[in-house]
Amino acid sequence: MLGEMYRLVQATMGVLRNEGRQTCQILPEGSIVQVEDGLDNNKVINVECAGRRLWMFSCDLAKRGTPIHSQPIPPDELTTSHLDSSSPRMAETYLISN
């Protein structure tokens, strides 16, 4: 659903869209993902995670994410990037060939 937020309970792949290049990102367990368009099984959806816009399969988010309904999210979790390369849990990145 538009604007709905999920906490990943398992590492999940997303595709980072960056200046015409697409790279696969492994989003670590615990990442918070906000849906930018509606969920529909087996379709690619637009999401935002740690300030970055990605594509994900809606079925991956449904299987590996837990909706955040009434749980308050600490402000530092919304702004801390799980994709930060200095983190010991650095996300893996793969270039997608066009």
pLDDT tens profile 22-68: 899 999 999 999 998 766 666 889 999 998 899 999 889 989 999 98
pTM recorded for the entire structure: 0.66
Q: Residue 25: which domain range?
A: 5-95
What gap in Å lies between CA 13 and CA 24, rounded to an integer?
7
Domain count, the chain: 1
Q: What sign does the dihedral 3-46-54-66 (CA atoms) show? A: positive
User: What pLDDT does 30 receive?
Assistant: 94
- Tell me, what DSSP letter sits at residue 2? T
